[in-house]
Structure 1
C-alpha cells in the first residue's frame, strides 16, 4: 500500500513543516543513512510524520536542518521513533542537546511484553496487520535521483509510528508503566550522551590483555586515529584496524623496522603512516599510564553459577507473569551484580546495581530479595505448561 507524502527540497518548506510541528506538539521521524564510508554516518534522507501527513526531507538540497533538530529538543514536542539510536545521535550532534520527550516504540514494546528488540515491521504487523515492503533495505541512499519505490519505502517507515505511539501509550497507561518507559528512555539517552562525549579507547577489542605502558600507547594511538579519521572523513577502522592498533601497543615501542614487519602494515595507505605512528608511540611513553574506567564491582569473586541460574529462571517467570521482556530488565551480569551486592554487602562509594533502584526494583528486585532470603520459594507446578514453575510464599 502506497503512502502519500510531500517531498521537501527547499528551506522554506522545511520552515513551514517546523511551524506545523510546533502547533501539533507531536512528530515521528526516521532516517536513512550510510555509515560505512565516513567518520560519522552520512544522513541521506529524513522521513517525518505529523498528524496531517507524511513528509520526506532531502538534506542534500537544504542549507541547514537546524530548524528541525531544534524543534525536536523543545520541551513541548513529543518525538516518536523506532530503535532511535542514530536518530537521537543526529539530533545530539547538531544541537548538543538530548530530546526531552522521546518515545521509542521498540523500547515501549518491551514494557508491554513483546520481544526486545522488535523490528518495526513486526510491530506494525502486530498492531495493524499490515506487512511492510523491505526490498529497499540495502539501497544506496546517497545516489540521486531517488526512485519512487525508494521514496515510498522511506515514507512507509513512518506511516504508522504515530498510530503505534497512541496505542502503546494507552496500554502503558493501563499498566501504570508510562513513568517506567520515561525513566528508561532518560537513562538510555544519558548513556548515549556519555558514550558520544567520552574517550572510548578502553572499548577496543583485545585491550583486556594490555597493561602498563601499553595502555598509554593504545590511548595515544586511539586519539591519533580518531583525529585522522575526522580530518579525512573516514571510519576509524579504515585509518588503522583495531587489531593492528592493539598489536602496536602490545609491542610497546616505536621501532619503525619492527612496525613494518607486522602483518597488515604492508598496505600502502598504512605503511606510509609508520613514521607518524612511531612518533605517537614515543610521545605516549612519556605520559602517565591512564586510569582504566572500570565497571562497579560488588563483593569479591563470582557468585555460585547455580544461584544466578536459579535467579535467571525466576527472572523469566516474573517477566512472563508481569508482561515485560526479560531482555530489557536484566542481563546475566546484572543478576551477578545483584547477588554479590546482596550477599557481600554494599559499598557507599559505589552506586547500587540496577536491580535495586528505579523501576527494576519495583518490578523484580523485591521478589529476588525474597527468594534470596528464603521468604519466597520457586516450585515446579506443571511440567507440561509453557510456564512450569510458580512462586510459593513461605510462612514466617
Structure 2
C-alpha cells in the first residue's frame, strides 16, 4: 500500500497544515538490529480532525520544515513510551522535540499502572480494543503490506482522544503540573548524550573486574563506541562484552594473545590489533588516583536506626501511593529510602533524592520530614492506616 508522504514538498505541506495546532501526536517505526544508529523507516502523525498520516523517510532529503514543527514551543508533541522515538529525533536534530507529553508517563501518574502499553491505554481510556499487529516486522520493505499500514495508522489514530482524556483526568486530580515536571525530568537532551568516560559501566559483567582492570575497560569502551559510530554497527559487532572483559583482565596484551581469544577474527587483529595494544598499554600506565570505580562513594551503609525508620516510612509511602492509584516505586525506590533517611538524620545533603523536590516533595517528602521530626504519628484505626490530621484521610 502507498504511503501518504514521500516527497519533500508533500512533507512541507503537511507541516504547514499542522501550524497552529495545540498538539500533534507522533510515532515512529525503525530497525536497529545491525546498525549503531536506528534506521528510521516510518513516521506517523496525527492531530485533532486529521486522519493518521504516514511519512516515508527514505526518499525525504529536506527535513527542515518537520524539525521546525517538532521544536515549535506552542505545539505539544504527544507520544506514548517515547524514549526510542525521541532518540530518532535527537540523532536527526541534536535535540529532542519540545514540549513533549508522554502518555505512558501520564497514565502511570493518573492511576493506570506503571509502563502501560499503548493498546491497554486505548482500551482503558476509550474502550477500544486494537487489533493485534506484528510490531516485529521489516518496516523498511516497500511497499508496506495492508497489515503494516493498518498497524501503523492505529498507533496514532486513537492517541489524540487518549491524550485529551488523560489531560482531563490529570486536571481533575491536580496532577497535570506533576506530569509536565516528570516528563521534563525523565525526557531531556542529556538522556541521549553519552558520556564516553562512563561507557564502561554499560558493559555486561563489568562487576567481575578488579579495580586495576576498570581503567583498561574504560579505555576499551571508549574506543569500541567510537569505532561502532564510525562504522554504524552495533558495539557488539566491533567487540563483544565478553571479549572486552577478558581483555581488560590481562596485565599485558600482545598480538598473539589477541589472536588466541575466542570471538576475535584474524582480520580484526590485522586491522586494529596494534592500536588496541597501544590503548591497553597506555591504560595500564594510568595512576591509581585516576582509576574509575564501580561505586564512586564508599560511604558506610545506612544505620540500623535509618533502616528501621525506613520500614515505617515505607508503610506511609505505600498507603499514599495506593490512595493515589500509583506505584510506590514511582515516588521513590525502596532501596533509596534508608539512605535518604540516614542522610536526613545526619544532616547531609539530600538534594540528589527526587523525593526532596517537585511533586514528590509535595505528595510525600514533606510528610516524611514531619514523621522523622516527630511531628506526626502513624496508627491503625478501624483496620485503616491513619496519620494525624495532615491533609490526607480516608473517605
TM-score (norm 2): 0.87
Instruction: Write the deviation string for residues 324-383 of structure 1: whole angstroms up to 9, x where unpaired.
Output: 332322212332332122122214xx734211111111101122223333443444556x
Structure 2 CA distance for aligned equivalents of residues 98 and 70 of structure 1: 12
Matches within 5 A, 1:287-326: 287=286, 290=290, 292=292, 300-304=300-304, 305-326=307-328
Instruction: Write the deviation string for residues 210-265 of structure 1: whole angstroms up to 9, x where unpaired.
Output: 45552332122111111211122110012111122122112232223333333433
Asked if residue 32 in structure 1 is aligned to residue 29 in structure 2, the reply is yes
2:204 corresponding residue in structure 1: 205
1:369 corresponding residue in structure 2: 369
Give 1:179 shift: 1.3
1:19 corresponding residue in structure 2: 16
In structure 2, the CA distance between the partners of 1:168 and 1:213, relative to structure 1 (3 Å rule), is: same
| Structure 1 gap segments, 5+ residues each | 383-387
Asked if residue 171 in structure 1 is aligned to residue 169 in structure 2, the reply is yes
Asked if residue 158 in structure 1 is aligned to residue 156 in structure 2, the reply is yes
Q: Is the 8 A contact 1:59 1:65 kept in 2?
A: no
CA RMSD of aligned residues (A): 2.8
Q: Is the partner of 2:386 in helix, strand or coil? A: strand
Structure 1 CA distance for aligned equivalents of residues 215 and 295 of structure 2: 20
Structure 2 CA distance for aligned equivalents of residues 279 and 201 of structure 1: 18
Q: Structure 1 residue aligned with 2:69, among 42, 47, 71?
A: 71
Give 1:291 shift: 5.8
Matches within 5 A, 1:267-286: 267-268=265-266, 270-272=268-270, 273-286=272-285
Structure 2 CA distance for aligned equivalents of residues 133 and 156 of structure 1: 9
Aligned length: 383
Q: Structure 1 residue aligned with 2:38, among 24, 36, 41?
A: 41
Matches within 5 A, 1:1-396: 7-51=4-48, 52-190=50-188, 193-199=190-196, 200-210=199-209, 213-265=212-264, 267-268=265-266, 270-272=268-270, 273-287=272-286, 290=290, 292=292, 300-304=300-304, 305-347=307-349, 351-380=351-380, 389-393=384-388
| Structure 2 gap segments, 5+ residues each | 391-395
Q: Is the partner of 2:19 in helix, strand or coil? A: helix
Give 1:173 shift: 1.3
In structure 2, the CA distance between the partners of 1:361 and 1:95, relative to structure 1 (3 Å rule), is: same
Q: Is the partner of 1:47 in helix, strand or coil? A: strand
Q: Is the partner of 2:37 in helix, strand or coil? A: coil
TM-score (norm 1): 0.87
In structure 2, the CA distance between the partners of 1:381 and 1:240, relative to structure 1 (3 Å rule), is: farther
Instruction: Write the deviation string for residues 280-338 of structure 1: whole angstroms up to 9, x where unpaired.
Output: 21233344564648878696313445543443332221111123332322212332332
Instruction: Write the deviation string for residues 160-188 of structure 1: whole angstroms up to 9, x where unpaired.
Output: 11111111111111222111111111111
Structure 2 CA distance for aligned equivalents of residues 166 and 380 of structure 1: 39
2:393 corresponding residue in structure 1: none
Query: After the TM superposition, which of the residue ranges 200-209 and 311-320 deviates more from structure 2?
Result: 200-209
